[in-house]
Amino acid sequence: MNCRTIVDSLMEYLDGSLSADQRKAFETHLKICAPCLRYLESYRRTVEIEEALRRCEEKEGSFPLELFQMILSARRSRS
């Protein structure tokens, strides 16, 4: 495996869908390749940042009462 194949199979490595042999080859490369290790860490961090964004925004929105009323009155005026 070289850096290109490592980077291409990163997502499968992280979600656990590589075969045992592929996984072993992947981890062997990581032990000797600092750029790939850094790349893996920052890729994983990117996904964690997305999760953090999702969690923060989840707290921000509750269903507005006026939206409820707007939808129902728009429906009545259309029918």
Partner 1 sequence: MGTDSQLEAEERAFLERLRRGDEEACRRLVREQGPRLYRTALRLLADEHEARDAVQDAFLQAFEALDRFEARARLSTWLYRILVNAALARLRRRRHREDSIDDLLPQFGEDGRLLEMPAPWTLQPEALAERSELRRIVRKAIESLPDKHREVLLLRDIEQLSTRETAEILGVTENAVKIRLHRARQALRTLLEPIFGEPKR
Tell me which DSSP letter residue 43 carries: H
Is 43 a binding residue for partner 1 by CB under 8 A? The answer is: yes
Is 32 a binding residue for partner 1 by CB under 8 A? The answer is: no
Is 11 a binding residue for partner 1 by CB under 8 A? The answer is: yes
Is 39 a binding residue for partner 1 by CB under 8 A? The answer is: yes
Residue pair 43/10 in contact by the 8 Å Cβ criterion: yes
Which of 5, 24, 27, 28 contacts partner 1 by CB under 8 A? 5
Is 28 a binding residue for partner 1 by CB under 8 A? The answer is: no
How far is the C-alpha of 22 from the C-alpha of 41, rounded, in Å? Answer: 19
